[in-house]
Structures are given as C-alpha cells and as structure tokens.
A and B are shown apart, each in its own frame.
Chain A
Amino acid sequence: MHYNLLFNGCSYTQGGELEGINKDYEYRDRHRYSHIVSERLEKTYDNISISGSSNDRIVRETLEWFNAGNTCDLAIIQWSHIDRLEYISSYAKHPVNFNPPFVFTGWGGPKRDHEETKIAHEHFYKHYYNPMLGIYNFYKNLYILEQYCEKNNINYFMIKLSSKFSNKSSKLLLNDNPEDLTNFYWKTLCKHDWFDIPPIRDTMFNTREKENFTLNYKHLGHQFLTGTHPSELGHQRIADFIINKIETK
C-alpha cells in the first residue's frame, strides 16, 4: 500500500499517555504528531511505532514494512534511547525490547518466557552493556537504515528522542559532545551523525514547561501514566517542527 508519510519510533511517536486514564486510543491516535502533520499537510500516513522500542526494532520493522510491499513519499524515523536493545525471547521466540530499568514485552507471553527474559535482561546490563556498545549499535542501525533508503530511493527524515545518549534512569549519561566519542567505524560511513539529528526534547519543545507533558496519574495507580510523554500541545509543537522541516526541504 502507498502512503505519503511513514512514521516509526518509540512511545513519543506512538503518542504514549495521550490515551489518558480512559484508555482512549482513538483519541491518542488523533492527537499524536504523526496525525497532526498528516492532517495539516493533507497527506496519508502510517504510524508503526511501538512504545518502548529500541533502535534495533525501529530499523528492523521499518525495513520489514517496505519489504512487505508498502511504499511512502517520506519516512520520518524517530530514534530512541541508545541503551535499549531488541532481544528475541528464548522461549516464545518473540522480540522484546530491553531498557535498563525493565523489559518491554508488549505481548502476553507465557510466564516461563518472562522469567528467562528477565534473567537475560539483568545479565545484559550488569555484565555486558556499556555506553560505547550502545553508540556502536546506534551507528550500525543508522548505517543500515541509510543504506536501505538510499538504495531504494526512499526519502527520509530523522529525529531523535533526546540529545542525551541514554535514559536518565541509567547511569550512562553522555551529553551531545563529539569530543567524548571515539570515531566509530560505522559512524565514519554514515551520512548523518547523532549530533546532526534534531532532538524532540528541548529543541521541538521546552521540557521545563509542564504544559508540554501529559498529566501524572501514577498516584492513582496508573503505572504507565507518569507524565513523561508529550501532551497534545507537546505533539503540536513536534508537528510544527516537522512541518517546517518538510516545507523547507
């Protein structure tokens, strides 16, 4: 199927928390930035983002989307935290996304699978992962995506979640500072650089302004409604930025 625009990313692109305590996912879909951009530009679109996504998943499923015969005029890819990783769960053989604080399962797998995946997750961050491997993996994914898009004449535009390399809940905070980094080999081959990709947070909207974020309902027992995702206003500001980029381009 042909769409004018394709969006892929993590919860910021999925519209995380816009559904509110009423779990109104239709409302979420109509107020997230992908819808706003498409509506204002009078374009058709598909949004295949998933909350908690790693960059591994974002790249893999973008390629799979095209490979399934879909086409678009412009792919808008939102990169996620670099310390997330896609892991194929050993028991159910289902992809899950590792995040330092927890695992995003996204499916009702069997208990045994959850247990084994949890052990793998703990081991991965405790004994194997470090920020350099995260950066290494980011550039590898960036290279794959760029090569695929260039080879198949796909127009693409990239944004990233944050200027920081990792989730604030991990201890692996690296700010945007090229001098901190080894000149990775995949990076050398990439057309883009992490530092050139505009971040949503603090570029498209100010993270100090509360109105840009959803309300926090955690105290009411809503574990995933913590007020850490863009509100309707936040999404409008992201949309403003993207529309401006598209029109300038």
Chain B
Amino acid sequence: MHIFFNGCSYTWGDELENKLEERFSTLIANHYQAEHANISDCGRSNDAIARTTMEWFVDGNTTDLAVIQWTIISRFEGYDDLNKQYFHVTVDKKSKWEHFYKNYYYDQLGVDCLFKNYYLLEQFFIANKIKYVFIFHDCWSNTIINLDSVWKKFIIKKDFHFLRGMFSQKCILINPLIDDCHFKGTKGGHPNTLGHQAIANYLIKEIDNAL
C-alpha cells in the first residue's frame, strides 16, 4: 500500500526534533507497513495544498490513499509573474500583506476558497478511485462549521475532523484529537511527539474506515 500526505507545518512535522521519524505521516505508514510520500510544507495555503497535490499526480505519481490536511483559511497563494513562482499570502507576514487582510480578506472568502479546493480534490480522488481522508487545521474551526459556503453543499464527506479541540463546549461537532499537554515543549503551537502520535492514532481509525 502507498499513502500520500499533504498539508502545512502540522503535517510537515514542524518543531519536532526528528521530524522524519516522529511526524504522524511516518507513524501511520509504519502502522500499515506502507510506503508513503509526504509533500507538505510550512506556510502552505489551501490553494497551494490543492495545487501541489494535483502537481504530484500530474507528474505521474499515484497512491492508494490520500491524507489531506487543510490549513488556516486566511492563507492564500499568489503568483510572482516576474520570477515565475508561487508565494504564500499569510497573516504571518504582517508588514507585507497588511493591506490585503485589511481591505480584501475576510473569513467568508477563506471558507469559500477552502471548500472549493476541498470539492476539487474530492472529485479528483473519487474519479480516480483513490481513498481519501481530509482533516482540518483547528484554527477557525468555528468559522468552518458555521459559515455557509456555496461549495460546502457540493462536497461528499461532511464529517469534519479538526487537529485539536480549542473551542467552547458549544462546538459539539469538534473532534478533539489532542489536548494541550501534547503541545508542551514546542514554541510555535505545533504538536510535539505525543501530539503526532495522537493524530496518528486518530487517523488510523479514520483510515480503517476509509479502506
């Protein structure tokens, strides 16, 4: 079996000491004794996750199962026409994109962008008979659940899985994967080794259901 992973810094294993061994993609692949590819990168937007996923397949690669970790909805992807390369538009780069977030962006756009990309990849996987599991970054999960989106009604899998529960008890749809103790030892809010193990354990159950 082959498993494909894509996402942002969470899937990349940011802040782990031995990320190649400790990140959840490796743990899951080891569990199934499967080959795997993890093409995630830090700072990626949902546009970039969809694009790089499709590029991977267009390059002639194939897989049995795709695990896609959607990221923070406020991130976008731009294109530098001069240098012919894509770049991240993110609130992390406040000085550069301050006006973008002040004058253009608001959550509805982020949610629409997320679900349009979700729909695209979902349709691609279904058409190519590839099993898939989608999980969400926990930021903005309230928004993702509550904001309506034109693309949301077209998607097939509507059971949303978030990487960690960080909302009030009112959010009963949330599936908390890892509690705060799993973040100890990291500085940037990324899961530590225990966090990745918890994500892996959760995803293995989801993958078992998907297979």
Binding site for B on A (CB under 8 A): 60, 63-64, 67, 87-88, 90, 93, 95, 119-120, 122-124, 127-128, 130-133, 136, 140, 143-144, 147-148, 150-151, 182, 185-186, 188-189
Q: Could you give, for residues 42-67 of chain B, a 1 whenever the CB lies within 8 Å of some chain A CB and a 0 otherwise?
A: 00000000010011001000000000
How far apart are the CA atoms of A43 and B150 in the complex, in Å? 30
Contact of A123 among B55, B79, B99, B109 (CB under 8 A): B99
Asked whether, in the complex, the Cβ of A128 is within 8 Å of the Cβ of B103, the reply is: no
Measured CB to CB, the residues of B under 8 A from A are: 51, 54-55, 58, 78-79, 81, 84, 89, 99-100, 103-104, 106, 108-109, 112, 116, 119-120, 123-124, 126-127, 150-151, 153-154
Q: Tally the A-B contacts, defined by beta carbons under 8 Å.
A: 62
Contacts of B109 in A (CB 8 A): 87-88
Q: Please, which residues of chain B bring their CB within 8 A of the CB of A151?
A: 123, 126-127
Report Cα–Cα, A1/B104, bound state, in Å. Answer: 38
CB neighbours (8 Å) of B150 from chain A are 60, 64, 95
Q: A119-B103, A186-B54 are in contact. Are A93 and B108 (CB under 8 A)?
A: yes
B54: which of A63, A124, A185 is its contact (CB, 8 Å)? A185
Q: Which of A63, A128, A186 contacts B100 (CB 8 A)?
A: A128
Besides A123-B104, A128-B89, A186-B54, 17 new A-B residue pairs in contact (Cβ under 8 A), listed by A number: A60-B151, A88-B112, A93-B108, A95-B150, A119-B103, A123-B99, A123-B100, A124-B104, A128-B78, A128-B100, A140-B116, A143-B120, A144-B116, A147-B123, A148-B123, A151-B127, A189-B58
Given contacts A123-B99, A147-B123, A185-B51, contact A133 B104 (CB under 8 A): no
Residues of A within 8 A of B154 (CB): 63, 67
Contact sample, A vs B, 5 pairs, CB 8 Å cutoff: A87-B109, A120-B104, A144-B123, A147-B123, A185-B51
Please measure, in the bound complex, the distance between the C-alpha atom of A21 and the C-alpha atom of B119, giving whole angstroms.
43
Chain A residue with the shortest CB-CB distance to B126:
A151
A64 to B79, CA, bound (A): 30
Closest to A122 in B: B103
Shortest Cβ-Cβ A-B pairs, 9 listed: A123-B103, A132-B79, A130-B81, A120-B104, A185-B54, A185-B55, A123-B104, A147-B123, A90-B106
Contact A136 B79 (CB under 8 A): yes
The smallest C-beta distance from A213 to any residue of chain B, in angstroms, reads 33
B108 to chain A, nearest CB (A): 5
Docked Cα-Cα span, A182 to B126, in Å, equals 27
CB neighbours (8 Å) of B58 from chain A are 185, 188-189
Tell me which residues across on chain B come within 8 A of A132, comparing CB atoms.
Answer: 79, 81
Q: Which residue of A lies closest to B108 (CB)?
A: A88
Q: Which residues of B contact A128 (CB under 8 A)?
A: 78, 89, 100, 104
Q: How far is the CA of A177 from the CA of B116 in the complex (A)?
A: 29
The minimal Cβ–Cβ distance linking A120 to chain B, given in whole angstroms, is 5
Shortest CB distance B112–A (Å):
6
Report the bound CA distance from A67 to B108 in whole Å: 22
A133 and B153 in contact (CB under 8 A), knowing A143-B120, A144-B119?
A: no
Cβ contact within 8 Å between B127 and A147: yes
Contacts of A186 in B (CB 8 A): 54
Q: For B108, give its contact among A90, A150, A188 (CB under 8 Å).
A: A90
Set of chain A residues within 8 Å of B123, measured between Cβ atoms: 144, 147-148, 151
> B84, B116, B120: which contacts A182 (Cβ < 8 A)?
B84
In the complex, A204→B78 CA distance in Å? 35
Q: Which residues in B have their C-beta under 8 angstroms from that of A64?
A: 150
CB-based nearest B residue for A87: B109
